[in-house]
Amino acid sequence: MMEPYETQIATAKRFRADPLVPQPDLRVGIARNVRSGLQPLNALRHQPDGDTSGWFVWAGDELSDAPDFFVSLHVSHVGEWCPTLQPYLALPPGWRILLAPGYEDVWFDEHLLRPRRTTTAGRKG
């Protein structure tokens, strides 16, 4: 049986991507609904920044814009919350994942590599 690290490298190579394994102490933005088993499972990876891996993960068909939709979780705990995602964590920035029972869609999205905009909505200036 392969270790998670080896599985992550193998998965990235299967999609012809240069693996970028996130360090265990980096953070993932993950929605609480992932623990419920809601399907499908969605994930995307932006560029890592500071103590973040760039990964954002949610379940279901809709991505909420609620400020508390994502919680911060160390990469080392992703397997506890969502073992299905763990093999894909070495996919580099720019990759998206959609998983459901019997279904796997993994693709590169160059738009994820563009700098993210920050909003000033609601700020007084």
Unique residue bearing structure tokens 């590599």: 113
Rg (CA), the chain: 15
Look at residue 118 in the predicted model and tell me its pLDDT: 52
> What is the C-alpha separation between 67 and 23, in angstroms, rounded?
25
Q: Per residue of the chain (125 residues), what is the pLDDT tens digit?
A: 567 889 999 999 999 999 999 999 999 999 999 999 899 999 999 999 999 999 999 999 988 999 999 999 999 999 999 999 999 999 999 999 999 999 999 999 999 998 766 544 443 44
pLDDT at residue 25, as a whole number: 97
In one letter, which amino acid is 110? Answer: E
What pLDDT is attached to residue 125? 41
The confidence score (pLDDT) of residue 4 equals: 81
pLDDT for res 3: 79
